[in-house]
Amino acid sequence: MEFKRPPTIRDVASAAGVSIATVSKFINGQQRFSPEVEQRLRDAIATLGYRLNQQARSMVTGQTRTFGLAILDVRNPHFANIVKGANRIALENDYNLLVVDLEERPSHERHLLEALSGRVDGLIVSSRIPDDSIEWLGELGKPVVFFGQHKRPGVRCVRTDGYRAGYLMGLHLVEAGRKRIAYLGFPKARWNSERLTGVRVALAESNQTVQEYAVEWPTLDGGQQAAAALLRSSQRPDAIVAYNDLVAIGLLHEAASMGIKVPDELAIAGFDDIPVSRFMQPPLTTVNMRSEEQGEAAMQLLLESVRNKSNMGRDILLEPQLVPRASTAPAGSQG
Amino acid sequence: MEFKRPPTIRDVASAAGVSIATVSKFINGQQRFSPEVEQRLRDAIATLGYRLNQQARSMVTGQTRTFGLAILDVRNPHFANIVKGANRIALENDYNLLVVDLEERPSHERHLLEALSGRVDGLIVSSRIPDDSIEWLGELGKPVVFFGQHKRPGVRCVRTDGYRAGYLMGLHLVEAGRKRIAYLGFPKARWNSERLTGVRVALAESNQTVQEYAVEWPTLDGGQQAAAALLRSSQRPDAIVAYNDLVAIGLLHEAASMGIKVPDELAIAGFDDIPVSRFMQPPLTTVNMRSEEQGEAAMQLLLESVRNKSNMGRDILLEPQLVPRASTAPAGSQG
DNA sequence: TTGAAAGCGCTAACAC
DNA sequence: GTGTTAGCGCTTTCAA
């Protein structure tokens, strides 16, 4: 089956015996015509199987009614939630959302983003590239909303307070009576140091310090791999805060394999509150970073930018929320 | 900050003192010019900050070097894996991939797909709409690869054998000594009945029958909600096969809350082998439905279609693989 | 090696 | 009500 050239308004026009302008106005519903003409138009469109070429339209209108969202990894439920939130708001406002997965590959990032920006009215970007390397974001010529902080004018930002998230977690563990608290981070991530600082400050208030470790990747496997070294050390922590829930789940699994009792011998916690965390055994303590709301907020900002034809205005900072569960219950409080 | 009209080749042309044809040829690298001209061109492009308008180009070339992928729900790791697979192959072949989340809403499906098809050279579609309602897929005027079966000419298909998957699972449970096996399905899904039939046939070979139940949604919460009724019944099953891993994990969690020992008192299994299944406590038995390879295969088919300018050729059927884990170990074989 | 001009499918301003 | 026409930004003959 070959793909023949699709019919254009010109084909419709000659089939219906009218001009192309008439066809254009008709399909845009911005004007009524005599009943007979409208009927001929409908017939012609139906028999030819005509469909509007969106590209051609946006060529002249300069609008696509589509937004783009670039995320680091669809496989991470945190990002999947962001997609959900952004998509919902977009659809409600009669915009489509196109998602691209950056695959955690900084080298491709710019290329993919430039390609995306050409097809949309604005974009939302999650990036791992350092601020000073993405100056070009503002030069895409389109409204951009960025996850994180970015001083560049013309780029608005959405984020959840990572410092506060870390602080809440640190406090929680101290209150649960933990004495040797470790942070298993992912240094390449933008939010890693905020979270770590939060934890550290909370511990400092009780004169505790935090041991630092790092994963290669912020994933289930990354957590599992890091676990071995961490859990076998002679001075094993009695609590581990992981960079995110995925890493925490990897840890949890490895701890179970090694016969370490969670939370009695070891407390484990993460960040993000991804859906599956509640279903773990034991359920995982975490901080809700409002992933879905981040997506929603970013999309709202984008809609504003497009409507005002400007990119001024406030950034958005969301408040994280501690979600205490069994994985950090005070030692001895449960079996 | 306002968004000014971006520079066009016409701006570059006049800045460099050449014609637009020269600019066009230069940026496409298909022709060399005198050193001085090339230098003027480079300067003009740099100072103006010129960037190619992809839309305008595809308007004339008829190519976008982009494919579209429509999935039912990004939040389901099965689909996230499909995205990964498809994206990898696309990138390797110098194509971009645009993903759209259908949000499990059949009403919007057609609209979203039509919008997407206008921006890409071909698409991969996962749908919940019955076959006879998506006849229009073939009329999108673009190559289409569909997940599932679809007799329509011009639409190629990729799927993993659901019947075989169910059969493997059924056999596994019978061999593990289970006597009252239930299937907790999601009837709205295309693959539900294949899987059920497979299970049923496997059980029939040992003269067993299967009890059927259904979830509202194929999600963690869906599984948890269905669990209550199912687990409290007087004739409680000693094994439950869930529609997918998410549902199984919901079940697993609820069983734990109710103090039911898995696998001793109850075996639980799912389909898909999503990454987190291996990390559950106990690790979840499942059938690997080759999600990522489905995405890869679909993209390969699409590339073929585009290269041959035709949509003929074979469909692809992948073999599922049983992944036995602790959640279905024979009763009494472990604590 | 360079340029003029036609045209991709559509919209919008302006005639009639 | 309906038609003519000039582009949107680009590629691509074809000619010079």
Nucleotides, chain C, CB distance < 7 Å: 1-5, 7-13
Average pLDDT over residues A260-269: 97
pTM of the predicted model as reported, rounded to 2 decimal places: 0.95
User: Separation of CA B59 and C1' D11 in angstroms?
Assistant: 9
**pLDDT band for position B332 (cuts 50, 70, 90):** low
> Which residue of B3, B98, B278 is in closest CB contact with A98?
B98
Average pLDDT over residues B15-27: 95
Average pLDDT over residues A279-290: 98
* CB contact burial B113-150 (16+ within 10 A = b; e otherwise): bebbbbbbbbbbbbbbbeeeebeebbebbbbbbbbbeb
A175/chain B closest Cα distance in angstroms: 26
A209/chain B closest Cα distance in angstroms: 30
Q: What is the pLDDT of residue A335?
A: 41
Residue A332: pLDDT over 70:
no
Question: Is residue A319 within 8 Å of A161, Cβ to Cβ?
Answer: yes
Instruction: Share the mean pLDDT of chain B.
Output: 93
> Mean pLDDT highest for which of A316-320, B147-151, B230-234?
A316-320
Average pLDDT over residues A93-121: 91
Average pLDDT over residues A210-238: 94
| B175: CB partners within 8 A, 6+ apart | none
**pLDDT band for position A310 (cuts 50, 70, 90):** low
Contact with chain B for residue A96, Cβ under 8 A: yes
Residue A27: pLDDT over 60:
yes
> Which residue of B80, B88, B138 is in closest CB contact with A75?
B80
- Tokens (6 digits) for A100: 């691209």
Q: What is the pLDDT of residue B128?
A: 86
Reduce the secondary structure of chain B to three states and give it as a string: CECCCCCCHHHHHHHHCCCHHHHHHHHCCCCCCCHHHHHHHHHHHHHHCCCCCHHHHHHHHCCCCEEEEEECCCCCHHHHHHHHHHHHHHHHCCCEEEEEECCCCHHHHHHHHHHHHCCCCCEEECCCCCHHHCHHHHHHCCCEEEECCCCCCCEEEEEECHHHHHHHHHHHHHHCCCCCEEEEECCCCCCHHHHHHHHHHHHHCCCCCCEEEECCCCCHHHHHHHHHHHHHCCCCCCEEEECCHHHHHHHHHHHHHCCCCCCCCCEEECCCCCHHHHHCCCCCEEEECCHHHHHHHHHHHHHHHHHHCECCCCCEEECCEEECCHHHCCCCCCC
Chain A residues inside the 8 Å CB shell of B101: 83-84, 87, 97, 99
- Which domains are seen in chain A, by residue range? 9-61 (1.10.260.40), 66-160+291-319 (3.40.50.2300), 162-289+322-328 (3.40.50.2300)
A180/chain B closest Cα distance in angstroms: 25
- Burial of A28 per CB tally in 10 Å (0-12, 13-18, 19+): exposed
User: Separation of CA B3 and C1' D5 in angstroms?
Assistant: 29
DSSP A13-73: HHHHTS-HHHHHHHHTT-S---HHHHHHHHHHHHHHT----HHHHHHHH---SEEEEEES-
- Tokens (6 digits) for A301: 């900002």
User: pLDDT above 70 covers what percent of chain A?
Assistant: 97
Question: Is A280–B275 a contact, with Cβ atoms under 8 angstroms apart?
Answer: no
Contact with chain B for residue A275, Cβ under 8 A: yes
Query: Which one of B109, B276, B292 would you mutate to disrupt binding with A, by most A Cβ within 10 Å of its Cβ?
Result: B276
Instruction: Share the mean pLDDT of chain A.
Output: 93
User: pLDDT above 90 covers what percent of chain A?
Assistant: 81
Flag the least confident range among A125-139, B23-37, B83-97. A125-139
Average pLDDT over residues B51-69: 95
Question: Is A75–B77 a contact, with Cβ atoms under 8 angstroms apart?
Answer: yes
Contact with chain A for residue B278, Cβ under 8 A: yes
Q: What is the pLDDT of residue B154?
A: 77
3-state secondary structure of A167: helix
- B205-242 pLDDT tens trace: 999 999 999 999 999 999 999 998 899 988 899 999 99
Query: Which one of B61, B69, B75 would you mutate to disrupt binding with A, by most A Cβ within 10 Å of its Cβ?
Result: B75
> Which residue of B1, B56, B220 is in closest CB contact with A59?
B56
Question: Is B59–A54 a contact, with Cβ atoms under 8 angstroms apart?
Answer: no
Protein-strand C interface by C-beta, 7 A:
A 5-6, 8-10, 20-21, 24-25, 27-28, 30, 52-53, 56-57, 59-61; B 17-22, 25, 31-34, 36-37, 56, 59-60
- Tokens (6 digits) for A20: 């192309």
Query: Which one of B50, B65, B99 would you mutate to disrupt binding with A, by most A Cβ within 10 Å of its Cβ?
Result: B99
**pLDDT band for position B93 (cuts 50, 70, 90):** very high
User: Rounded to an integer, what is the distance from CA A278 to the centroid of its chain?
Assistant: 20
Chain A residues inside the 8 Å CB shell of B49: 139
d(CA B125, CA A302): 28
Flag the least confident range among A22-26, A87-91, A104-108, A175-179. A104-108
